[in-house]
Structure 1
């Protein structure tokens, strides 16, 4: 495209090449994005001045909305997160909007990079599923763009949240196991994130609910830290089974981790639930399969996704005040929990 003087208009790609950086880096400097180093800003600004680059604001104004929504997951291997994403996609079906789904990994650096890439594509809003990022960074993004965070407990100033009442859900599970006669109940939970202070993620809220419920029954909490994955649950169960006094029940912090506990029990020749009761949290589809039949806490991943879109579209249409939608959990009892046998896990369940 030529400018009024007949010369070729300088593009953002030209600036990136002159500065020796990516187009995304130039975009960050132009919009004053968080995390740009002074050296990067100096290089890009010098290239802009040297080339006489002017952002094409007219084209952006003409375009207006892009009718796209960015959806950021930690990973596709998390069944609950994919169920939330499915709920988002289904909720957008009868609207003019389309979702752009990205996976960002569990590090703050990667998550910020993926979110910045969506901002560069001028999405109209963001849904962040279990974001592993300091909240101050999200607050800054939300000042300029509608944002909904899923599974982030706290009181934000600029964005909306959709959360499950995880403390209540964990209490329901502990009450169920105690009523069945269990006194040695282990819980698997992920490590706390560095930013978790006034805000906490789902696994921390579940851990808090578990600890409070155990103490209310006069029992000692027993938390095994691991990642909420199948492999993490497997490793936690191996650790628990090797103890001199193994737990009679393991309450995994997520269904996917409970599957790892079930695998470890099978490898040890332990019967579920006769030798050890196993429970999870999320009620993902696989938990409902008859062969698995996992006792768990339901929080409706699909419904969570639908509610996040409802709130996001309200924001896009102009609502300014933050809102929180709380999902009410309920206990789903299936075949993996029962009363303890009274004999505990025998030596066949231990590594010699």
Structure 2
């Protein structure tokens, strides 16, 4: 190699690093991203290959392998068992030697769950699935509200300042929608996505999931885990995850490690993408963003809203007495936006107000059927009781 060629390469690398620093806002030292190499169903070679792919584009970060010694130009911190590997990973993170790490089969504490990142097949759009592993809360609906916050935190760390949020149409979705709208009305701004289906709304269908309607799709963790596997391996038959960025970073209140999860079935392309994902959230200061977002959310009464979601709290407020149905009427009017778990309680709430009602299931989810002339009054009663969003709430 001539001296001029060597100089040109150095200059070119320098300019790339400057351009990347301007883009990411990271003008400090290069960061280090770790990846553990034991545990893959496709062997250690699969992980090493993914790391080497990522290293080709790693102008602003270095990769540290944590596992058995292998023949590679990448840095290795040696560990010969999975227990030793996880111990070394945590030591490297806590000491600050690495700023983030990608691993498999890691146990997060309750309150921490991961935000996955996939490419939707409809329009090739990247979206965040909140969440995909871990447990945000033992209470499912409360967990989904937290999952929305975790998705927002991750999207902001990735450089999207105002991500749109959609809620997958699952049991509890309407309760989650009401809680998030209340949080937004209290001052924690949430940008709700609008479904591509004709009736719109922030509650998303499978169509929206495929097309990537929302930047963040909120779901329970088990559903998110299944969706990650489907999106990642639908072209391979399921045994090899070839697409996407993995199951993402663990996010939670006061959680100060940046640990991203891969499936044991993740192939080398996903390994490479997960390492890049880790570098990006580390450069975006994920843990600092989380602290800031939790402060803002708590100012908007997050804790009070979460307490109100507890089923035990609702039962304590409800009367235990039997409620008799008013005289039967023709019920062709509908009130939607009620969670399936609250449907029968909503019917009884109307009976108490002498409004005859029946429960039903429409194409968009659970509905309460009332006389057409009483729809407005019934909606008002249900809104006051907290079964549907209050009139005037904005999506």
The TM-score with structure 1 as length reference comes to: 0.30
The TM-score with structure 2 as length reference comes to: 0.27
